[in-house]
Chains A and B, each alone.
Chain A
Amino acid sequence: MPPVLSIFERETHETIVGSKLFQRGERIAIGASGGKDSTVLASILKTLNERHDYGLDLCLLSIDEGIKGYRDDSLETVKRNAVQYDMPLEIVGYDELYGWTMDQVVAQIGKKGNCTYCGVFRRQALDRGAAKLGIKHVVTGHNADDIAETVMMNLLRGDLPRLARATSIVTSSAASDIKRSKPLKYAYEKEIVLYAYHKKLDYFSTECIYSPEAFRGSARALIKDLEKIRPSSILDIVKSGEDMAALVPPELSTAVACSGDNEEAATGCGSTNGRSSGGEMAVLEKRLAVEEAAQYRETEIVLPANGNSLVQETLQVKGGSSIHDKKKPARKKVVKQVMGRCDKCGYLSSQSICKACMLLDGLNKARPTTEITVSAEEEEGSTTLMRHVAALEISAS
């Protein structure tokens, strides 16, 4: 065995033992996409479980979003993996979890908006799938590169709670039944590729069919450049993320909309907020600029006739005050959110209805419609819907 392999295995073992990730007899679901990260995770966990006698009951858990043609190859890969690693495989479909496949969602709302759904549904899918199987611990293939990217991304979008969650090796909240962990947290993507190569692992090179959302895209490009300058920066950023996570003020750290709201898996069709490049970034830019301007506006704020709800939301928060005002402009209060359960599905949520159920509600109300083809007007229509959804997200987070 080439030394890189044994080093990688030893380091992963050290991470598992050092962070006390597992307990004897625990049932573990490996979130399997068929991609290299989760395939390597399955392979190495099987190896280590036998070598060091962890006493774990491992299985593969795959989610089928129901995108025709997209998952076919990767699910085939996972099925072969199940045979290769002699692990039971459970495939849970969006139709089972939500009553809608992604293809049906796309047909309903058009192509532009579907990524909002994809993202929200995806965040809960693994946990819901595990719950269906009665498994309380899900492991995912997030590697150091993914985490570094998420740290930078959340700094850029101003989301400290998510930054903190992304860096912790285990995430679970008091109210949650499902524990999530990332045994490959300290592994460079390059090591994972090498391991897969040397072990001749059977994986599916998932080229995400959606372009990454602007923030993630920007962060990803940045990480790649940093890696060229100093390869260790990836782990240096992970360390920075851990240290910053410890400094997130308590009133902020509970303000995560939903515990299932993990940073998105960068594997598979990771982060998807649309093909429109710059989407989320442009929205935040606009919101911040409007907030800023509102602080200085002396006169009554007149909303444009087609004022979108995002802007409205913001203006309600900020009191208008003049440049010469002595008193500071009203600042947005951080509301401490208490975790509860979704009234509809019982899933952990900070709101009475979780995001997924909110989206489902909208979908189900509009269900009895004729087949929709994506035309130019339709694209327009879905943009409005997107805006509506985005506004909901703002108020929900």
Chain B
Amino acid sequence: MPTSTTLCVDCHSNPSSLEIRKRCLCHGCFRKYVASKILKRMETYRFKNQVGNAKKRLLLPVSGGVSSLVLLEVLDAQIKKQLDQQGRTAYDLVLVHVASQESDRDEGEKWCSSLRSCFELHTYLPVVRLSDVFEVDGQVEAALQLLGLTRQESETDGHFLVRVFTSARSATARSDLRELLLKRLIVATAKAQNCDGVIWGHSDSSLAAKALSEVAKGRGGSVPNELADGPSPWGLNFNYPLRDLFKTELQLYLGTSAESVRGCLLEHKENEDTPVSLRSTSIDTLLSTYITSQGQKYPSVMANVVRTASKLQAQGTAVGPGCRLCVMPITTGSETHELCYGCERMKQDIRE
């Protein structure tokens, strides 16, 4: 633990108050450190990398959790600075919030307007619900049919979505489905809004958990695609600017943010009911717990998982048509497959 006499190793003038990755920093320098890690991952969208006058439109999904708030705060500051210094911005942010519960749209709108009062420069889309995926994504129903899930006549989007989830017989399949539908919703929304890319708020910790979880679900072949910055198989650019930061660091950062920003933090809502036994836990939850618990003792080892998995070569879509559901490359050998191994595996847990 740093003592009060230890100076910050970056500015050499303030007393340090935090020890971050074996370096003693003051609050100000810690905030600079976090911002620099994020902005380094946004280089593609800087003025100097702009082609012609093509200003990019980027979709930023904000859940209201720690990660998305920190990301928004840092990007907002960058945009403000660009406006101050150059009178224009290198990119525009389009914010979208997905209501946590199907019925929570009004709550969501209320929250969005409080967020807007903190960060007013950006475009805010109306709050969307997961069931809106049927509205915006023209292919999703055909994809779900491959899992044996067909909308009944006159069934509303909301009811169909509920039926989709109840037909998933394992927590793992439910969480897998939710992730897939959420991704399809975000991607379709981005495309509908003419966005060039999506900025994801995954921290290093959540990417590590995701990588291990995909491996455990038989989706190992898509891990490099899932982790890559840049063009994605979805036909949009994906960026993960928080990839070099631990969840705990983001929490520390938000702790030093302005009261008004901290006030925007939405209580973390569990997607699943708190599992009573291991058997009813999803693989996603298990791996995320694993990364968190092991990360307390071995933070760098856990962080290194993402770097290791990112060394794998992402497969272009050139290898052939991807999976109809998750769009990732199919490696099962047979050309007649429409679903990848991981989605086929998920299908085994889905029964009407």
Contact = CB atoms under 8 A, between A and B. Distances in A.
A218 interface: yes
Interface stretch (A112-120, A168-176, A220-228, A383-391): A220-228
Interface string A214-253: 0000100010011011101101110111111011110010
Contacts of A248: 311-313
28 contacts: A152-B215, A155-B212, A158-B305, A160-B308, A222-B290, A229-B170, A229-B278, A229-B279, A229-B282, A229-B283, A230-B170, A236-B342, A237-B216, A239-B218, A240-B219, A241-B215, A244-B215, A244-B223, A246-B221, A247-B312, A249-B312, A284-B300, A285-B298, A285-B300, A289-B299, A296-B21, A323-B10, A323-B36
A162 B269 CA distance: 39
Contact of A243 (B217, B220, B279): B220
Contact of B23 (A229, A241, A247, A293): A293
A145 to B, nearest CB: 13
B301 A249 contact: no
A95 interface: no
Contacts of A249: 311-313
A230 B218 CA distance: 12
B63 interface: no
Contacts of A281: 298, 301
Contact of B301 (A156, A228, A252): A156
Interface of B: 9-10, 21-23, 32-33, 36, 170-172, 211-212, 214-221, 223-224, 278-279, 281-283, 286, 290, 294, 297-301, 303-305, 307-309, 311-315, 331, 341-342, 345, 348
B215 A155 contact: yes
A298 B25 CA distance: 13
A288 interface: yes
A29 interface: no
Given A155-B308, A247-B315, A293-B21, A240 B220 contact: yes
A232 B344 CA distance: 12
Contact of B218 (A160, A237, A284): A237
B281 A229 contact: yes
Contacts of A156: 301, 305
B32 A323 contact: yes
B224 A247 contact: yes
Interface in A241-272: 241-244, 246-249, 252
B304 A247 contact: no
Nearest to A158: B308
Contacts of B278: 225, 228-229
Contacts of A297: 9, 23
A151 interface: yes
Given A158-B307, A229-B286, A244-B223, A292 B10 contact: no
Given A159-B308, A228-B278, A240-B217, 19 more contacts: A158-B305, A218-B294, A229-B170, A229-B281, A229-B286, A232-B348, A233-B217, A243-B220, A244-B220, A247-B313, A282-B298, A285-B299, A288-B304, A290-B22, A293-B23, A296-B21, A296-B33, A299-B9, A323-B32
Given A160-B311, A293-B22, A233 B283 contact: yes
Interface in A286-342: 288-290, 292-293, 296-299, 323-324
Interface residues of A, number: 47
A159 B305 CA distance: 10
A160 B9 CA distance: 35
A243 B345 CA distance: 15
A292 B211 contact: no
Contacts of A240: 214-221, 223
Nearest to A230: B172
A228 to B, nearest CB: 5
Among B299, B301, B314, chain A packs the most CB atoms within 10 A around the CB of: B301
Contact of A289 (B22, B211, B283): B22
Contacts of B279: 228-229
Nearest to A247: B312
B328 to A, nearest CB: 10
Contacts of A151: 215, 220
A299 B307 CA distance: 27
A199 B219 CA distance: 36
A152 B212 contact: yes
Nearest to A240: B220
B331 A230 contact: no
A12 to B, nearest CB: 20
A244 B171 CA distance: 25
Interface in A156-186: 156-160
A237 B215 contact: yes
Nearest to A286: B300
